[in-house]
């Protein structure tokens, strides 16, 4: 039985840090275990220009704990007014790593997202030319489509036609939640998928059975158990097209526990411990490094981290904080619903 595992220090390829007091409180939770993270641009107002990305990066660096070894990988929020030249210059200068596509209204702070894909084609064509990755929130927002079907419908209606129009464009289908997403990526080129910690652990029953559990509510919403099983199989397979993107998304408790609660799961604090549990259960601890530390850099054409972390399995369950206190209010930490015995040494 493996009780100690040393792997290349991981990266998080999908992270929400917010801004201000929230940023200052949650950033140390990621910087403790992760070397880099792709930072989501859906602030209010969103990060849509290179100048705004640089300013946000500076605020993140200023909020880092002293001595922390962490690099934010910035993104731009794609709008129908995005300037292709600004994107290309920001990518070529190393300021941004990717551009994020939110269909308008798909998730938190996505009102400025894309409605008419024809209007963003010049940006996407320029991105394909310079090698910049498009990170996609893969859900349609058609009110006639059931919320549990929106990822599968997005693949058929939006993603497949988009890839036919710009086949050279590198794409990350972020936080995939369905077997449809897993299978589509497995059959495609120039596309990979990030998978969150919580979607490897919860299904839609966790949200709804025995009362509504707002801290399990996220977008894309957790699906049936068959989809969770498919995600676990993909993550633990070693296939380089799948990698970790936690989508750790802090909201204060009052904003979660309300009549119209916000979507988001905050998992930065205990992600690596939860992942070790999931991979051990699948007899796949030897594949954890690929998923958390190697596949993402390969997809984004970045070097692998030189440092390491060690995970240790202990006799007693690890006690994680139930909440992170912020200047905006408490944020609840993801509860996997079972004891975790792995800790980052």
The residues carrying an active-site annotation are: 247
Of 280, 310, 278, nearest to 293 (Cα)? 310
What gap in Å lies between CA 249 and CA 254, rounded to an integer?
Answer: 15
Any idea how long the chain is?
A: 345
What gap in Å lies between CA 124 and CA 101, rounded to an integer?
Answer: 10
Edge-to-edge strand order for the sheet containing 342-344? 4-8, 308-313, 342-344
What gap in Å lies between CA 123 and CA 84, rounded to an integer?
Answer: 5
Of 175, 204, 134, 151, nearest to 267 (Cα)? 175
Of 157, 152, 154, 158, nearest to 183 (Cα)? 152
Q: Tokens 């990621």: give the residue.
A: 30
Instruction: Report angle CA 56, 274, 173 to the nearest 5 degrees.
Output: 55
Return the structure tokens found at 248: 């750790």
Of 303, 279, 282, 283, nearest to 293 (Cα)? 303
């Amino acid at each position: 039985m493996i009780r100690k595992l040393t792997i290349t220090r991981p990266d998080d390829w999908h992270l929400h840090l917010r801004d201000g007091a929230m940023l200052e409180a949650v950033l140390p939770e990621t910087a403790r275990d992760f070397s880099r993270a792709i930072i989501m641009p859906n602030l209010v107002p969103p990060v849509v220009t290179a100048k705004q990305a640089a300013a946000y990066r500076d605020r993140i660096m200023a909020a880092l704990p002293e001595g922390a070894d962490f690099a934010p990988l910035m993104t731009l929020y794609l709008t129908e007014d995005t300037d292709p030249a600004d994107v290309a210059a920001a990518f070529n200068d190393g300021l941004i790593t990717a551009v994020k596509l939110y269909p308008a209204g798909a998730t938190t702070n996505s009102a400025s997202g894309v409605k008419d894909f024809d209007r963003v084609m010049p940006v996407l064509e320029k991105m394909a030319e310079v090698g910049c990755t498009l990170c996609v929130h893969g859900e349609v927002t058609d009110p006639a489509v059931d919320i549990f079907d929106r990822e599968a419908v997005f693949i058929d209606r939006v993603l497949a036609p988009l890839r036919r129009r710009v086949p050279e464009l590198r794409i990350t289908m972020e936080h995939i939640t369905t077997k449809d997403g897993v299978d589509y990526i497995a059959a495609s080129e120039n596309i990979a998928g990030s998978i969150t910690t919580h979607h490897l652990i919860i299904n839609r029953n966790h949200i709804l059975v025995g009362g509504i559990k707002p801290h399990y509510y996220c977008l894309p919403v957790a699906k049936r158990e068959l989809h969770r099983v498919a995600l676990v199989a993909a993550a633990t397979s070693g296939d380089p097209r799948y990698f970790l993107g936690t989508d750790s998304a802090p909201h204060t408790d009052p904003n979660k526990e309300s009549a119209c609660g916000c979507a988001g799961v905050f998992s930065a604090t205990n992600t690596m411990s939860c992942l070790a549990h999931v991979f051990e259960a699948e007899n796949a601890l030897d594949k954890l490094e690929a998923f958390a530390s190697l596949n993402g850099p390969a997809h984004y054409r970045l070097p692998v981290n030189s440092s390491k972390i060690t995970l240790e399995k202990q006799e007693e369950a690890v006690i994680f904080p139930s909440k992170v206190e912020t200047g905006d209010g408490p944020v609840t930490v993801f509860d996997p619903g079972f004891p975790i015995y792995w800790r980052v040494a």
